[in-house]
Amino acid sequence: MRLSWKLGRVSGIDLFLHPSALLWFFFGAQMSATPLESAVLVVALLGSIVLHELGHALMARQYGIDTADITLYIFGGVARLERMPRSSGPELLIALAGPAVNFAIVLALGAILALTSLATPWPLPLLVNILTINLGLGIFNLIPAFPMDGGRVLRALLSGWLGRVKATETAAALGRGLAIAGGLYFLVSGNYQAIILARFVDMAGSLELQQVRAEGRGLSIPGGFVNLPDPPPGCRWADSGNGILRPVPIMMNPMRRDRSWS
C-alpha cells in the first residue's frame, strides 16, 4: 500500500500526491485576496513543480534513464529515476532541465503579459504571481546545496578534475553548510516549514555522499542499512541498488528499486 495518492500519468510517468503537499493550501491561504485566488495559486505552484520534475525526467529519458514516478511533497517534488547518471555531462543536463522549464514558463508568461497588458487587464495579478512562483522555483533550485539541482550542477562541474567521490564530498559539504545556515535563519525568523526543507536537504545530501563513497571503494552495503543514522519518524532507509539510499514512508512497497531526483 502506498501512502501517496495517484493523480494520473504524465508522459508515461505516474504522478502521486503525498498528503503533506495538501499543507500548501493552508500555508497559501494568505497568498491572495480571496480563498479562490489563493487556491488557484497553490494549484499553479504544484503544477509548476510537476513541470519542473518532468523536465528532469524527460531529459533523463534522453539518456536511457526511465522515471518510476513523480511525487509531490510539502518540500517540493521528487522524480524517482531508475538509475542515476554516472558521467558528469548527463548529470549536468538533467540537473539544469528542471530549472530551465521554470525559466521557460517565466519567459512565456512575460510575453503574454506584454501582449495582453492593455487588452485584458483582469488576469494580470494572477499571471504575475505565477511568473514570480516559477522565477523563484528556478532560482531556488539552482542554490548549490547538494543534492538540490544547483548542488548536482556543482558536482558535475567538479567531477571532471576531482573525480566523482571528491566532487560529491565538496558539493555535500557546501550543501550541509548552506542547510545549517538556512535552518538557523529560518528558526530565528519562525519559518518552520523551511526548516523541514533545510533538514531534508542536509539528510539527503549526507545519505548520497555515503553511497557514493561506498561505490568509490567498490563496496556493497548489505541491505542498505549499515552505519546509517536513524530514519525520520515513519520512514525507513531504502536500498536503491547502485544509486543512493533514501528515506521512504514505511507503508511504501519495499520491492520498489529506484533513485530520487528532487
What confidence tens digit (pLDDT) does each residue in 125-164 have?
888 989 999 999 999 999 999 989 999 999 999 988 888 8
Closest CA to 262 of 244, 236, 242: 244
Residue 255 has φ and ψ, to the nearest 5°, of -85, -5
Domain range holding 220? 5-261
What is the per-residue pLDDT across 196-216, written as a single tens digit (0 to 9) for each? 778 888 888 888 888 888 776
- Angle of helix 88-116 relative to helix 35-61, nearest 10 degrees, comes to 140
Considering the candidates 53, 169, 208, 215, report the single residue annotated as catalytic. Answer: 53
Q: With 0-12 CB in 10 A as exposed, 13-18 as middle and 19+ as buried, what is 119?
A: exposed
Reply yes or no on whether the pLDDT at 28 is more than 80: no
What is the rounded distance in angstroms from the CA atom of residue 183 to the CA atom of residue 171? 18
pLDDT-derived band of residue 228, with 50, 70 and 90 as boundaries? very low
Reply yes or no on whether the pLDDT at 249 is more than 80: no
Residue 53 among the catalytic residues? yes
Total structural domains within the chain: 1
pLDDT mean across residues, the chain: 81
Residue 75 has φ and ψ, to the nearest 5°, of -90, 0
pLDDT of residue 30: 67
- Give the three cell numbers for residue 150: 544547483
Tell me the CB-side half-sphere exposure of residue 43, using CA atoms within 13 A: 7
